[in-house]
Structure formats: structure tokens, C-alpha cells
């Protein structure tokens, strides 16, 4: 297995039926991601980027192609892949600590061991002072941090993130992006991240994949040569602005195509 093939998708296609007609959501594309890379996918609405993420997660069957993670075939959900959605999906009757320990509890880990591991990740997302709080007592950004800690705690090989900050206000979203890049910098876990936000993709990523309008294919694979660790001021640099213009120029054509086909 080549170093760049930690996650390897080959010939991926997805067709589904709508009103008794076949709709091609994804069509015959390949994507390889190296271990420890942070890769984002951007594209017009309905282009299949979330569908692809769910296929990688094992939640959505593919029509064609194959996917491997660390050389092992992917066919169903598994603990090697951690999925984080826009919806926090926290248990309202559980505290922050017991929400994070839940997956370890299901695995049968001892209470002492699961709480020790959970506290490591609760501290990583900056919520140590709130481990006894309930979801109703937390802000939206704090809930998403709990959801992130709950995903990290069972230590998946790759994080699959589907618009995780999409429901947050602009200020909280930007702070969450900064926190996520700090966490990634410390942890260096492989991440595949879906977003509509070009600026978000640029700030977080090593590579940005631009999808075409449906049927989704890869239009461009852009390596982001911005220094790490990254801080908020990088968003104002000419290099950042140039990447933004480059990706928007590519994406704009696809957005217009998607609108015409709607």
C-alpha cells in the first residue's frame, strides 16, 4: 500500500431511483488520501459530496467501485471510521462525561478506564470544567465539541465530518474551525471533511477537492501550501485570497450548471 493510499476510493459510482427514474449521483471517480492528511470536499448543492462521505462511512451502499482504509475493504460502518454530523445527537439525560463515555461503555470497557480516556478528549476540546453539565446547559458550539470528543474517544483511524459547523453562527463557527485545526495539529488523525464554505475548507485543509455538479466527479484536487500551525490572520493573506479566488472560479461554473439542471 502506497503512503498516499491510506484511504483509497476507486471507480466510485452511485445511482438511486427517484420517481421511477435513475439519478446518477456520483460517477466513476478515484480519490486517495494519505495517513494524517486533512482533506476537504467542496461542491454545489446536490453534487454527491455528502453521499460519498456516507459511502466511506459504510452508511450508504455504492453502485460501483471499491474503498479501502489502511488496506482493508470498507463495506459497512465500523469503529475505524468516526462520523461527525451537523446534528450533535447527544443524549439529553447524560452529562458531558457520560455522553463521551457512551461508546466505550457499549464496548464493555471498565468505568475507570473509559472515564480516564474520556477526560483526555474532553480536555482536548476544552470542556473539562463542564464534564458534569447536561446538553441543555451548553451552547451550540459546546455541544459540537462534546460530539467531537465522543467521536475521538474510540480513536477511529479517520474522521468523516459532514458540515459539522453548518448550524452554528458565524463567530462560533470560526472559533470552532480554529479549535479543530489546533486539535488536528496535536492529534494528526486523517480527516475527510465536507463543506459548502470555501474559506472553511482552505483554513482547515492540506488539500481541497472540488466536485462537479451532479453527477459528482472530481473537477480539481488542489494542494493548499499554507504554513502550519494556522492562525486566524492567515485568512487575510494574499496567498489565502488567491486560493479562494481559484476555487470559487472553478466552483461557480458548477453551481450555475447545477442551477440550470434543477
Q: Residue 3 pLDDT > 70, yes or no?
A: no
Distance CA 48, CA 173 (A): 23
Query: Is a pLDDT exceeding 80 seen at residue 246?
Result: yes
Average pLDDT for residues 10-20, to the nearest whole number? Answer: 89
Residue 58 has pLDDT above 70, yes or no: yes
**Can you give the residue ranges of every domain in the chain?**
3-80+158-165+187-261, 85-155
Longest dimension (CA), the chain: 57
CA angle in degrees (0–180, nearest 5) for 96-98-99: 65
Q: Does the predicted TM-score (pTM) go above 0.75?
A: yes
Any idea which fold 3-80+158-165+187-261 has?
Rossmann fold (3.40.50)
**31 — pLDDT class (breaks 50, 70, 90):** very high
Phi first, then psi, for residue 68 (nearest 5°) are: -130, 150
Q: State the DSSP string of 193-236.
A: EE-S-HHHHHHH-SEEEEEPSSSB-EEEEEE----SS--GGGGG
Question: What's the pLDDT at 2?
Answer: 64
CA dist 165 and 156 (Å) reads 20
Q: What is the pLDDT of residues 185-198, one digit of tens each?
A: 988 999 999 999 99
Q: What is the pLDDT of residues 167-220, one digit of tens each?
A: 888 898 999 999 999 999 988 999 999 999 999 999 999 999 999 988 889 999
* Residues 193 and 40: beta-carbon distance below 8 Å: yes
For residue 241, name the pLDDT band (cuts at 50, 70, 90). Answer: very high
List, as one string, the DSSP characters of the chain. --GGGSEEEEEEEEEEEETTEEEEEEEEEEEEE-TT-EEEEE--TTSSHHHHHHHHHTSS--SEEEEEETTEE--S--TTEEEE-SS----TTS-HHHHHHHHHHHTT--HHHHHHHHHHHHHHTT-GGGTT--GGGS-HHHHHHHHHHHHHTT--SEEEEESTTTTS-HHHHHHHHHHHHHHHHHH--EEEEE-S-HHHHHHH-SEEEEEPSSSB-EEEEEE----SS--GGGGGSHHHHHHHHHHHHHHHHHHHHHHHH-
How many C-beta neighbours within 10 Å does residue 221 have?
12
Amino acid at each position: 500500500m502506497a503512503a498516499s493510499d491510506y484511504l483509497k476510493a476507486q471507480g466510485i459510482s452511485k445511482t438511486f431511483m427517484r420517481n421511477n427514474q435513475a439519478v446518477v449521483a456520483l460517477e466513476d471517480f478515484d480519490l486517495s488520501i494519505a495517513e494524517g492528511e486533512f482533506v476537504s470536499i467542496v461542491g454545489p448543492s446536490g453534487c454527491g459530496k455528502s453521499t460519498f462521505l456516507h459511502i466511506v462511512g459504510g452508511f450508504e451502499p455504492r453502485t460501483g467501485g471499491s474503498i479501502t482504509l489502511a488496506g482493508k475493504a470498507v463495506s459497512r460502518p465500523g469503529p475505524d471510521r468516526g462520523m461527525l454530523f451537523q446534528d450533535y445527537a447527544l443524549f439529553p439525560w447524560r452529562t458531558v462525561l457520560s455522553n463521551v463515555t457512551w461508546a466505550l461503555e457499549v464496548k464493555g470497557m471498565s468505568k475507570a478506564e473509559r472515564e480516564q480516556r474520556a477526560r483526555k478528549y474532553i480536555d482536548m476540546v476544552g470542556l473539562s470544567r463542564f464534564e458534569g453539565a447536561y446538553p441543555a446547559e451548553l451552547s451550540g458550539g459546546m455541544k459540537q465539541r462534546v460530539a467531537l470528543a465522543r467521536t475521538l474517544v474510540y480513536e477511529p483511524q479517520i474522521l468523516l465530518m459532514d458540515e459539522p459547523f453548518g448550524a452554528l453562527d458565524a463567530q462560533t463557527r470560526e472559533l470552532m474551525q480554529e479549535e479543530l485545526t489546533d486539535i488536528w495539529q496535536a492529534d494528526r488523525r486523517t480527516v475527510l471533511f465536507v463543506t459548502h464554505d470555501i474559506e472553511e475548507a482552505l483554513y482547515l485543509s492540506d488539500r481541497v477537492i472540488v466536485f462537479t455538479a451532479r453527477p459528482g466527479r472530481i473537477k480539481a484536487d488542489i494542494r493548499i501550501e499554507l504554513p502550519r500551525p494556522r492562525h486566524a490572520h492567515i485568512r487575510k493573506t494574499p496567498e489565502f485570497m488567491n486560493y479562494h479566488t481559484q476555487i470559487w472560479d472553478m466552483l461557480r461554473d458548477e453551481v450555475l450548471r447545477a442551477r440550470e439542471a434543477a
